[in-house]
Amino acid sequence: MSDQIVITGIHGYGFHGLFENERKNGQDFYVDLILNLDLASAAQSDTIEDTVNYAEITELTHQEITTNPVNLIEKLAYRIAERILSSHLKIKAITVTVHKPQAPVGLKVHDICVVVNKTR
């Protein structure tokens, strides 16, 4: 299956991280999603029922970014993937990229991200 829906740059302010200051002060997180599903029916019918609702998926992702802090963005990425797959059965596979541009790594970096691929 080669059909995809791509959503990039879902922003949220979260409190994820290993360090006390990350948990206390928070920071920006960005999430990119690649959703693999068959879009032929939606192309034929031109109705939302034959695809997935982008607004629901972006809101769900935002909720995960902004609630229930975790130590590792690896866990956050898996949590987002699992929640989307469990609530949107048309999606056959998902790629979730969680960006943590202000990660405290001791050197200046443009971005640090984790990429998770999950298939049904």
Please give the positions annotated as active site: 100
Beta-carbon contacts of residue 36 (< 8 Å; ≥ 6 apart):
1, 3, 4, 91, 92, 93, 94
DSSP 60: H
Tokens of 117: 């691929």
User: Is the Cβ–Cβ distance between 18 and 85 less than 8 Å?
Assistant: no
